[in-house]
Structure 1
Amino acid sequence: MQVCQPLAEAANFSCHAIQQLEQKLAVLRQEHSPIKHFEDYEGEIHKLFIEAEQSVLAEDLTGLDIDVPAIEVSGVCYHRVLRSSETYQSAVGPVRVLRTLYRNGKDHSIIPLELQAGIVEGYWTPKAAKQAVWMVAQMPPGEAKSLLDLIGNMTPSESSLARLPKKFNAQWEPNREAFEDFLWESVKVPEEAVTAAASLDGVMLPMKDGKRQEKREQNRVDGKRTRGPAGCQEASCGTLSFYDAQGERLSTVRMSRMPESKKVTLKQSLSALLSEALRQRPDLTLVKVADGAKDNWTYLANELPEGHEVVDFYHAAEHLKKAFDLSYGENSNKSREKFITYRHILKEEPEGVEKVIKALAYQHKRHPRRSKLKTELEYFRSNRTRMNYAEHLSHNLPIGSGVIEATCKTLVTQRMKCSGMRWRHPGGQGILTARSLIQSGMFDNGWKLLAVTYCAKVTEVGMDNVIPFPMQKGDLEL
């Protein structure tokens, strides 16, 4: 039979807890009449409600415990070996309950109370874990603890908060593809959308396992700088944005991954998301936009469906500025004059990129020994088919990668490049996944998917079906 909580007993306890709360409130009001310091009074009120909520939660958690000789979970039989008290961190602070532990063999133990309540990592109630994950995704654990102390609800340690992203990631990654399939299906393309823009980029991230000292030593041997960034690797970001007929951005789905060769996982996720969007709306015009990095375009051009390919105009303008600086002198009046003129031509005139190439080819002919000038010329030549800016603007298509640039900043830099921070993959990916869900408006749905993995159906095994389980030393009832 399936074991369930006696609801009548729980309801009676809740009524008792409410009665106690009312009595304590009456005493508190009498003690503070008249109220002289409302902040202190408000804090006392909050504490009383917290205590009442903790009592109710403790009782209801205890009601989820199962104390029988044997239970079955997922077709496996477990035998009772121990009853003891445990403290769990709820959204209103610690609650201590008596629960039963069961074992199948020597190593694998389970606690039915935790499986039925969905206790996260043997410590957090579901709501507390959700709040804590959200907080450490947005700020360092020390700041999160300070904020929780100020609020006055749950009281986890800084180390518990610091471990949570790694635990979150360990539970998410084995199920990532299935979770993403569900989340991508839940993404509804706005009705007024006519354009979808896919983009990806990267941002350097300081890594604990980035061989920082080895790289600096090699730089010393090579006669290069031994100060500045070292041990950094490239984290990746991807976006899919939807635009209306006037070119106004309607919504964006953001994603990010820790450093990985060729951005393999990010590309798979972005491709799956785009496929779902085009399945919903095959009439969407696809624009693929990024800077000039070759790996980005190998993916965007060859692995995504056909669409308009656009090198970010603002990156192109930076290259144009550099070319004229190389021709006329850095920040000279002539360089600025030429840059302003040809920037307008590149953006506003049909076949503007051809005029830019012609101008830069002339400058290279005048200064054939300036190799960097030739490099800038080759940049425009190799990307000329992706620089039809005037045509794209006439159809209200995006020509800039501002969305992906902002994503790199808000998803990665703002949280993960604070002073002194260095990262390993598991904890860093946990934070990036949570931040991606938050910034894409999917955190609630994503958490529901994750929370289910901590739950399981527990059934009592009839005594006729119980196989005796030999007690081990220490398997005593406390």
Structure 2
Amino acid sequence: MRRDNLELEEGLQAIADFRRDLSKTPPSEVDLERVEGLVQERLNAIGRALMAEVLEHADVKSPEVTVNGKKWGNRRESPGTYYFKFGEVKVERSIYSPAGGGPVAVPLELRLGLVEGRYSPQVARLVCRIAGIMTAEEGATLLGDAGVAMLSSSTLKRLPKAVAARWEAGRDEINDELRSQERVPAAAVTVQVGLDGVMVPMDGENAKPRGRKTDCPKAPRHETRYGPTSLKCEAMEDGLDGRAWHEASVGTLAFYDEDGTELRTVYLGRMPETRMATLADDLELELHQVLGQRPDLDIVFASDGDKHQWEILEQIALRLPSGATGKVRFLLDFFHAAEHLGDAAALVHGSGAPECEVAASGWMSTLKHIDDGADRVLKKLRYHRDQLATQAKRDSMQEIIDYLAGNNSAGRLCYAEARAANKPIGTGVTEAACKTVANTRLKRSGMRFEHHGGQTAMAFRTAHLSGRFPLLMSILVQTYAANVQSGTAA
């Protein structure tokens, strides 16, 4: 009897034995937790036996095979280990090599699209989702508790990095396909485009373990293990050699209906990189795809006041598709403007004084609700600047005035008009993205990430948050499959 048939028979016999034992157990003595575990074990055993049969059925036994038009011969058999939700399956499978030797082809793996030559698509999908949600150690514990795809924490670290490296290698084509499948919410009338920076802890490139400084940074681990991923790490160019903390970037495209209600958000995230170059490109491509479907959408470019971020958004605005007909607005995040008004009130009245809160609230209300509110507030601030007792306070007030006046000159403080049109005046979606994309996943106590490891977590996390993860994994899994034919037929 074939091994897989024997294992299946043993599994079925175990089920029969279980049912017999259960029938003899008094109802009052049934231990549900133990029983459920036994059922899971027996079902997993049957699943492994059936998957072994699937593997043998999909294998090739002919002397030669053709893989994507290339001929392979010199067939022999070799043991292989594969991983399914039911557990580990070992089989003997055919391997082939070209004339003259060299690398081998395993038709079984290529025909079935086994990810990284070992893992079923469903296991790979599960592991990559875990990478975006939790640590590898937590993932291993969760899978153990669930009784499915019970893999080690080292595998839960290694496999997503390999899949993400494959994504990076083909990111232009893969991301184009992802975007092409997106549909703008039918009720949307506005898209807000925002980006922000967020500091993340790095390790393994310009810092020793746990962030200790070094004058001799080592090469990125992902380059030596997985090959280059077309990433240019800011840690090499931001003047902070040997430091653990560098600025990653997060971008959002948030859709709103005519009442100003958020409908959906697309999330983007990149590990530290010079001038946020990749994220800026991705943000622009996302917007162009959106406007290709809905050229009538109004566009709100929003940021917190960082000069470089505004340069990126303004450049994107200059290159909008010619067919875009919606109104374009630039808005400084209202919360950041309000923070500056609070600081100004503290200079005038003293921090914590009742008059301070009253003044700040009044200026905020003027800025938010009156069409020329920015001009009115700036006039008041200039008056109070001249009344301040010390030069240091006058200088501090002037910095606040310069900040608000610069944004006002750029047309970024038109909050009353935006509110009347039910447009978002804050970057809460983008600020929240910094927390949900980066902080929650990458900034727990003691964490450090090398560039590709951090990008792996951010990439799968943003795909999950954007609702793109199932399609992404479907595309990635397909890249592992090949056209395998027995014999020499092409």
What residue is the counterpart of 2:398 in the other structure? 374
The amino acid of 2:472's aligned partner reads G
Q: Please report how far the alpha carbon of residue 381 of structure 1 lies from its aligned counterpart in structure 2 after TM superposition.
A: 0.5
**Equivalent of residue 177 in structure 2, options 179, 182, 198:** 182
1:117 aligns with 2:112: yes
C-alpha separation in 2, matches of 1:28 and 1:136? 40
> What TM-score results when the alignment is normalised by the length of structure 2?
0.85
Give structure 1 stretches of 5+ with no counterpart. 1-8, 217-228, 466-478
C-alpha separation in 1, matches of 2:263 and 2:308? 28
C-alpha separation in 1, matches of 2:310 and 2:284? 14
C-alpha separation in 1, matches of 2:102 and 2:147? 38
- Given that 2:8 and 2:50 are in contact with CA atoms closer than 8 Å, whether structure 1 keeps it comes out as no
The amino acid of 2:283's aligned partner reads L
1:194 aligns with 2:218: no
- Given that 2:71 and 2:488 are in contact with CA atoms closer than 8 Å, whether structure 1 keeps it comes out as no
The amino acid of 1:280's aligned partner reads Q
What residue is the counterpart of 1:58 in the other structure? 52
C-alpha separation in 1, matches of 2:343 and 2:214? 30
C-alpha separation in 1, matches of 2:68 and 2:265? 39
1:337 aligns with 2:358: yes
What residue is the counterpart of 1:443 in the other structure? 469
Q: Please report how far the alpha carbon of residue 107 of structure 1 lies from its aligned counterpart in structure 2 after TM superposition.
A: 3.8
What residue is the counterpart of 2:372 in the other structure? 351
1:67 aligns with 2:64: no
The more displaced of 366-375 and 335-344 is 366-375
The more displaced of 305-314 and 105-114 is 105-114
1:76 aligns with 2:70: yes
**Equivalent of residue 241 in structure 1, options 236, 254, 258:** 254
Q: Please report how far the alpha carbon of residue 103 of structure 1 lies from its aligned counterpart in structure 2 after TM superposition.
A: 1.9
Paired residues for 1:64-143 under 5 Å = 64-104=58-98, 105-143=100-138
The amino acid of 1:374's aligned partner reads Q
Q: Please report how far the alpha carbon of residue 165 of structure 1 lies from its aligned counterpart in structure 2 after TM superposition.
A: 2.6
What residue is the counterpart of 1:476 in the other structure? none
SS in structure 2 of the partner of residue 63 of structure 1: helix
Q: Please report how far the alpha carbon of residue 79 of structure 1 lies from its aligned counterpart in structure 2 after TM superposition.
A: 2.2
- Given that 1:68 and 1:80 are in contact with CA atoms closer than 8 Å, whether structure 2 keeps it comes out as no
Q: Please report how far the alpha carbon of residue 328 of structure 1 lies from its aligned counterpart in structure 2 after TM superposition.
A: 2.8
What residue is the counterpart of 2:383 in the other structure? 362
What residue is the counterpart of 1:404 in the other structure? 430
> What TM-score results when the alignment is normalised by the length of structure 1?
0.87
What residue is the counterpart of 2:299 in the other structure? 286
The amino acid of 2:295's aligned partner reads P
What is the percent sequence identity of the aligned residues?
Answer: 34
- Given that 1:65 and 1:99 are in contact with CA atoms closer than 8 Å, whether structure 2 keeps it comes out as yes
Q: Please report how far the alpha carbon of residue 19 of structure 1 lies from its aligned counterpart in structure 2 after TM superposition.
A: 5.2
- Going from structure 1 to structure 2, the CA distance change for 1:90 and 1:182 (only over 3 Å counts) comes to same
What residue is the counterpart of 2:237 in the other structure? none
- Given that 2:5 and 2:49 are in contact with CA atoms closer than 8 Å, whether structure 1 keeps it comes out as no
Residues 29-51 of structure 1 deviation map (CA, whole Å, 9 limit, x = unaligned): 23535452121112111211111
What residue is the counterpart of 2:141 in the other structure? 146
SS in structure 2 of the partner of residue 108 of structure 1: coil
1:390 aligns with 2:390: no
RMSD across aligned positions (CA): 2.5
